[in-house]
Amino acid sequence: MAIPSTYRWVALGNLRIRPHKNAPHDAPTPALDETIELAKLRCEEKTHLRRHGVDQSRLMWFSDFVDLPAYYVFLAQVGDQNTTGVSFIDFETFRTRDITKRENEGGHFSAHIIIKKSQSQNGGHLILIERVPGIYLGSVREHFAWLSKDARLLKTYNINGKELQSRGIFEIDGYTSNTIRDALATGVLQDIEFVKTTSVHEDGLDEDPIIKEELWEAKWTIKEKVSEEQAESVFGKMRQFFRNFRNDDDDAHMFVRIKTAAGQIRRTEVPDDDSAVLEQAFVHNEIIRDFNEPLAQRHKEPRDDVIAKMLDIPARIEREG
């Protein structure tokens, strides 16, 4: 899968560490610095690779840690065996060169991750993630969840004289940016998606009926610039359709996608309630570009220029208020 060599999108999020739901709300949790130190130690121990996905065909790991005064910086790495080989075309001769992927090989991508050491008022740590295939808010959260199972991050607490242990739960929520109303002012309403998962019961043994899950999807394609009044009308009809589509199924969702003036597709889930849809916020993504050296599919080591451009994002947001 080819990725651009001239720019990257960077996702902003809030990383929080909370007690497990079965533990008291004030139970101790591992601190961010403890978690980073464990991740470093796992690299030294060669136990830092996490296999996951269908047939264990994917890998993820953290590496190349850099300790800055106010931030932790490291690379997130992924490997994916479900990628194809690569084809290149010569723009002068128009000849194609194919590079075939071997059976045990997979695509290798890496991205810079930056986490602020200090906590914000809401108790979370600002996290910036360079987005490449396989590396995004959810996948980074899943890797932290995997690390949290290490016995060295378990915390002991006491209830009625009984000593118990609990692990921290890592959550990464998208750092919200402007609203749907703001995005529509300069962008294009791309489409609206409706998704639900239902359980289908099939005939089997009397005692053990077979249950399968089916994914149902519907999409309204719009791809037009709409006024605020038109958007309100569309979103009103969207709710009506969704309530029939959902059919009392709790696992149903609807999403709005808008193409911004910068060409970015922003997607956010819209809840089925009476709140104003136009006031829903998107996860904040920023673009970094204008590099002297092309960006590679994977970084052999952290790049100072990428780090500097990523660190400028929170600094600029703070300056702009």
Sequence ranges of the domains in the chain: 7-175+285-320, 181-282
Angle at 152 between CA 147 and CA 154, to 5 degrees: 85
Give the integer Cα–Cα distance in Å for 283 and 9: 12
**First and final C-alpha spacing in the chain:** 38
Give the integer Cα–Cα distance in Å for 190 and 265: 8
Contact 18, 168 (CB under 8 A): yes
Exposure pattern of 170-183 as b/e (b: 16+ CB <10 Å)?
bebebbebebbbbb
Give the integer Cα–Cα distance in Å for 247 and 88: 48
Contact 126, 72 (CB under 8 A): no
Contact 144, 36 (CB under 8 A): no
Beta strand 188-202 with 252-259: parallel, antiparallel or unpaired?
A: antiparallel
pTM for the full predicted model: 0.73
| Residue 8 neighbours by CB distance under 10 Å | 21
| pLDDT mean by block of 10 residues, the chain; 321 residues | 85 92 86 97 97 91 97 97 88 93 92 96 91 92 96 90 89 84 91 78 48 74 93 91 80 85 80 76 85 94 97 81 47
- What phi and psi values does residue 42 have, to the nearest 5 degrees? -65, -35
What pLDDT does 294 receive?
94
What pLDDT does 207 receive?
45
Give the integer Cα–Cα distance in Å for 309 and 147: 28
Give the integer Cα–Cα distance in Å for 202 and 190: 37
What pLDDT does 206 receive?
43
Contact 30, 151 (CB under 8 A): no
What pLDDT does 205 receive?
43
What pLDDT does 202 receive?
54
Q: Where are the alpha helices (DSSP H) in the chain?
A: 32-45, 137-147, 180-186, 228-246, 304-320
Angle at 117 between CA 111 and CA 121, to 5 degrees: 115
What pLDDT does 310 receive?
97
